[in-house]
Amino acid sequence: MASQSTVWAVLTKWKMRDSNGMQCQRCLPACGHVPGGKNHFQYALTRCFLPPSIQMILKQKSVRKEDHPEMPKRMHLTTLNGRSLRPVIHRQKCFGLIGARNICEVYGDENHFSAGHGDTTMAALFDMTETRFDIEASAEHTMDEGLPAAIPFLPDNVVHHQGGALITGMDGELVWLDSDFKPITEVNVPFPMRIHQASISDGHLFATWLDRELLLANMAAIPVNHIASGTSRAELRTSIGVSVPAHHPAGNSWSHSLDAEPLALASEKKTIVFVLYRRGLYSISTNAEERWRMPSPEWSYPRKRPRNDEIVALHIEGESFIITSRGGRAQRRSLETGLLLEEFILEKIEAPVEHHFKFGGHDLICSTNGEVTWLENQEVVHQIKLSGPVQHASWDARINGWRIAGWREECLVAKDRVERNETREIPMHVHPVGTGALLLFNDGQWGNSALES
């Protein structure tokens, strides 16, 4: 960012109507350097009614354009020759100034502000009609200046790799992105099913496809950045029960039909490990050669509960891998043989586990009831309750903590603080970028995080 940014002119048009219906319109110009903006604006502001937008200068800290779902419902400022103004904010839109701070504009017919000026002054309603910013600022190019193009389908998963990322859709769509999240391929559907698990290593996407309605499952490898569209869902449906060769994802390096539901999958270098429901654990090479297979894990639960044994996560760590069960226990096993090395309890986990995110010695356990537990070397760092189930989480090295995409909210969890911000849509993926993060929402739109490190 530039070291100095100046707002040369801020012209706010606004109109006032009092309780008797009388209306007037005013323009309030102001000039000044933003860091000292409050002092520069003081004289102009006290000569007339205080526009709510100017009053809120320097209240926001982020430097990007975005809608904020919540603002303080009550503000108390001593202005207008000592008279008290208490605007009630119904909705606001925030325009970020590059290298500066934010100015808020309130818009719409219903965005009125009630103001009390003491016993001798009637309340007035304010409607914002226009705001213009003329900004002189030089800034380095960052992702805060713009957002990636919207994903043209309903996104389901994001898989990062060394050269970029893969976005998968609810109906089997794929699009490959570069490291700046710009598409480098067209959208294609190699197989008309939702991808259930996905991992990228050794230059290939290794994925499982599952369709519970058609009772079909598949596992295949597709080269990174490769595009090919395969059979349609209608063709797949009509082929069931007919003596025709099985359908497979288009453009695959290898593909196999599965006879059970895939529960978890991970890959590292030349090794793939995956779990099939009530079939067991498997390890294969990246060219599909089997290395070992083990029966379904047995767990030391004192009491049997429904789905306690179901595996919800698999992580490869060096010469071993960890599987996590829905009931809150984990097993470490040998990557070379699949043999059990140890079983341990995930501390303070009560509700069924839905997700287990991992970075080194840090574990983020997300339960189905929205409870999130951060463990460091199996010691509880934080345990918080969010508004709903977690969609995704990423480790942010800048804060040494987690960024969480929740249910219409994002959350930043560091050792010294927990911050939350509501969002209009459901963020289904969060990716740390610079001092902030990039959010992908369930409607395919991108957004910048309002929570900065």
Query: Using one digit for the tens of pLDDT, what is the confidence trace for 269-314?
Result: 999 999 999 999 999 999 999 999 999 999 988 877 778 889 999 9
As a whole number of angstroms, the distance between CA 287 and CA 272 comes to 10
Phi/psi region, residue 171 (left: phi>0; alpha: psi -120 to 50; beta: rest), is alpha
- H helices within 330-439, ranges in order? none
Residue at 283 is within a domain: no
Q: How confident is the model at residue 123 (pLDDT cuts 50, 70, 90)?
A: very low
Strands 401-405 and 409-414: antiparallel
CA end-to-end span of the chain? 15
Residue at 47 is within a domain: yes
Question: What's the number of domains the chain is made of?
Answer: 2
Residue at 306 is within a domain: no
Residue at 201 is within a domain: no
Segments forming the whole domain that contains residue 52: 6-140
Predicted local distance difference test score (pLDDT) of residue 243: 62
Tell me: pLDDT of 16 over 60.
no
Go through 259-291 and write b for each residue having 16 or more CB atoms within 10 A of its CB, e for each that does not. Answer: eebbbbbbbbeebbbbbbeebebbbbebeeeeb
Residue at 268 is within a domain: no
Mean residue pLDDT across the chain:
75
In the block, tokens 């309750």 appear at 385
As a whole number of angstroms, the distance between CA 63 and CA 2 comes to 12
| CB-based contact 309:325 (threshold 8 Å) | yes
Report, as an integer, the average pLDDT of 107-135. 33
Residue at 312 is within a domain: no
Report, as an integer, the average pLDDT of 244-263. 91
As a whole number of angstroms, the distance between CA 23 and CA 311 comes to 66
| CB-based contact 184:177 (threshold 8 Å) | yes
Residue at 118 is within a domain: yes
Tell me: pLDDT of 368 over 80.
yes
Q: How confident is the model at residue 140 (pLDDT cuts 50, 70, 90)?
A: very low
| CB-based contact 453:412 (threshold 8 Å) | yes
Which tens digit of pLDDT belongs to each residue from 385-424?
999 999 999 999 999 999 999 999 999 999 999 999 999 9
- H helices within 80-166, ranges in order? none
Boundary-marking domain end, from 113, 140, 167: 140
Predicted local distance difference test score (pLDDT) of residue 302: 80
Strands 83-85 and 436-441: unpaired
Q: How confident is the model at residue 93 (pLDDT cuts 50, 70, 90)?
A: very low
Q: Please choose, from the candidates 64, 172, 140, the residue with its C-alpha nearest in 3D space to the C-alpha of residue 446.
A: 64
H helices then E strands: how many in the chain? 3, 34
Residue at 116 is within a domain: yes
> Which range has the worst mean pLDDT, 18-22, 254-258, 421-425?
18-22
Boundary-marking domain end, from 140, 169, 190: 140
Report, as an integer, the average pLDDT of 238-265. 88
Boundary-marking domain end, from 120, 140, 160: 140
Predicted local distance difference test score (pLDDT) of residue 350: 82
Q: Which H or E run contains 54?
A: helix 52-55
Higher pLDDT among residues 181 and 74, named by residue: 181
